[in-house]
Amino acid sequence: MTTPAYSPGLEGVIAGETAICTVEGGLSYRGYFVGDLAEHCSFDEVAYLLLHGELPTAVQLKEFQTRVAAARRVPPPIKDLLGALPKWTTPLDALRTAVSALGHFDQDSADNAHDANLRKAERLLAQIPVVIADHYRIAKGQPEVPARQDLSHAANFLYMLRGVEASPMEVKALDVSLILYAEHEFNASTFAARVIVSTLSDLHSGITGAIGALKGPLHGGANEKVMDILLASGGPEKAEEWTKSALARKERIMGFGHRVYKTGDVRAGILKKFAQDMATQVRQTNADRGTELQKWEDTADIIERVMATEKNMFPNLDWPAGRLYYAMKLEIPLYTPIFAMSRISGWSAHVIEQLDNNRLIRPRALYKGPPRRPVKPIAERG
C-alpha cells in the first residue's frame, strides 16, 4: 500500500477553492491588489468587497454604511455579561465569549441561506468593535461611550474607546491597518471557521472558533509581542547584539517570517510608512514621546537588517502594526482584538463561500502508532 503524501502543518497543501483572496503574485482581494485597495479605498469599501463580491458604488457604500451603523449596538444582557467577567479576562477572550453569546440574540442565527449569512455578517462587523470598546471601558470602570452612526468603522471605534474623536491621521492609519488585516486566504483562523461551518454549523460558531484560533501567538497574538521585543532589545545601541544573541539562543523573534511569504510581506512595507509617519506626527506635539517612538523605529530598522542578513527573514504585517498601535496609545491587549475587528469581514466571506457550496472538510491522518494487536485479559497485561 502506498503511503499518502504528508505535509506537516498542511504546508503547501491545497485544501479548497476560493474566489475571495490569493497570495499568488502578491496579496489580492477578489482580484484587487491589496496595495491599491489601501491607497484608494476605505476599510468600509473593502469590507463590502469581501462580503458582496464587488467594490461598491457610491449608493451601495452609503446603504452599506447605514446598515452597519444602525447595527452598532449589543443587547443589554451582553453588556451585563461583559461586566460579569473576571477582571483578568483578556479583551480577546471577552470578545470570543461575546460573539458566541450574540448568536443567541440574532434572529437569523440558525438560517444558513446566503442572504441570512450576509445579514449576520454585517451585524457582527458592526457589533465586534462595540464589544471591544465596551469591555475595555467596563474593565477600567469607565462609562460606555455610545456608538456614532456618522463615523466610519475606524473612526467610530476610536471614538468609543476614548470618548473623543481621533485625529484624521489616526483614523487613516487605523483604517489602512484594517484593510491589510482584513483577509489572508486559508490562514489558521479562516480555515478553522471553514472547517466548523462545513459541518453545517452556523456563522456565529464559525467566528467564535476563528477568534479562538486567532488568539495564539503564532497567529494573531504576534502583534502584541512586538513592543516586548523592542523593549527587550534595549534600543538602537544594543539592538544588533541583542538580536544576534537571541538568534544564537534559537529564540523566536515575533513579527518576522511567514508560512507563505518567503521574500517579504507587502503589507508590512505599506504599514511601516504609517508607523514612521505617526512617530513624526507625535514628535510635533510631544517631543519626548516622539523621540521615544523614533527610538523604537530606529531599533526596528536595525532588527530588520539583522534578521535579513542572518536568517533571510523579513517582517510580516504584525511588525509595523504593533509599533503603529503603540504610537497611537492603544493598549497592547487590544491589538489582537483589532485584528479580529478587521478579519471578521474575511472570516464571514469564507463562511458564506463555504456554506454556499459546502462539502464536509474531513482530512485523513497518517497513523504512526503500533500495529493491530489483540486485547489481553487484564491479568496478563503488564
Q: Which residues are designated catalytic?
A: 258, 318
Strand partners, 32: 29
Least Cα distance to 346 among 12, 22, 13, 104 occurs for: 22
Supply the angle between the helices 43-52 and 168-181 in degrees, to the nearest 10. 20
Distance, in Å, from the CA atom of 272 to the CA atom of 277, rounded to the nearest integer, reads: 9
Distance of CA 91 to the CA centre of its chain: 13
CA distances (Å), origin 346, targets 46, 90, 314, 321, 323: 10, 23, 24, 18, 24
Cβ density class 317-332: b for 16+ within 10 Å, e for less: bbbbbbbbbbbbebeb
Task: Read off φ and ψ for residue 314, nearest 5 degrees.
Answer: -130, 160
